[in-house]
Amino acid sequence: MAPKSALSTQNTHPAPVTLHGRSLEPNRRIPLNLDWVEEVRVNTSAVERRSLTHTARRTVKKETQAAWLLRAIACMDLTTLSGDDSAERVRRLCAKARNPLQRHLVEALGIEDLHLTVGAVCVYHTFVETAVRALEGSGIPVAAVSAGFPAGLSPLAERVEEIRRSLEAGAQEIDIVITRAHVFNGDWHALYDEVAAFKDTCGPVHMKAILGTGDLMTLRNVARASWVAMMAGADFIKTSTGKESVNATLPVSLTMVRAIREYAKRTGMAVGFKPAGGIRTAKQSLDWLAMMKDELGRSWLEPSLFRFGASGMLADIERQLEHHVTGRYSATYRHPIA
């Protein structure tokens, strides 16, 4: 029997985005409101306490857990951003993106009709064309990391040109990285103009703004950077490049998600969220999904508004689903990613 709610894992026609019963529009640029930025306050101890209690508040088991894990797969940006990446590795990753679960698990779960795939494949610019060809006909978008990833310190004109080249190569989503110094300096106009320039180059293509939260030092900086990126037109805000010493954490994610919620209340516009880096286990995927459901509601459990930046996590999810089906854990090597 299929896991509970599994048939809603991927929606061909997503429901309208709502928050507390209010319909929301896609995000678009609005003028920089410095009052909104300056009034940001974050109670760090309260956020950390809430994050600790969040992971202990609930457990999901059996078919319900399997359904949530399928949701995690559908919201995953399957990623390879290593210095030793090759075209062959990217092609193997794309093959896994098309069929994230082994055939015997798909059949045992009864989800053949879902045609389950990941949310996107994320690669360096060099491999965009390779990924586009490998994913042809699948409907899976290719996301390119651009704008001087991961440091974001090359000249602005070069970063804009890199985005343009990735789009020309066929990228359907762009993950940009902000200049963290603008946050440290409180130069919100510079940060706003930078993100706006990137979004102008992306046009209608979804743009995720990577804040590099591990470098931002305080949750208040994280919240302020989130507000500025959203006002500048970012479609998603994303925690990390995955290259910082500290990447996605629940306190940082909770801070960003609550900024998204408050922004939606004030503007009537929805912004997506992507935690990336350090999320490696099926259990962690459940923690983040539950947080999105608690804080933002059902609309943010769709890949149009929520993504995991991950690779190794898929292998652990596959092992957990194998246990659900057989009652036994399989060896990790039986679930290669690429």
CB 230 within 8 A of CB 47: no
Nearest to 225 by CA among 242, 238, 206, 243: 238
Residue 285 near residue 317 (C-beta atoms within 8 A): yes
CB atoms < 10 A from the CB of 93, how many? 25
DSSP state of 276: B
List 96, 199, 208, 274, catalytic entry: 274
Judge whether 274 counts as a catalytic residue.
yes
Compute φ and ψ for 132, nearest 5 degrees. Answer: -60, -45
Contact of 223 with 255, CB cutoff 8 Å? yes
Whether residue 238 lies in the annotated active site: yes
Active-site residue flag, 199: no
| Block residue for tokens 């042809």 | 136
Structure tokens at 271: 């912004």
DSSP notation for 280-319:
-SHHHHHHHHHHHHHHT-GGGGSTTTB-EEESHHHHHHHH
User: Catalytic residue among 77, 175, 235, 316, which?
Assistant: 175
96, 199, 208, 238: the active-site residue: 238
What type of residue sits at position 6?
A
Residues 6+ apart with CB under 8 A from 47: 219, 251, 254, 255
Peptide bond preceding 251 in cis form (omega within 30 of 0): no
Q: Which amino acids are annotated catalytic?
A: 175, 238, 274
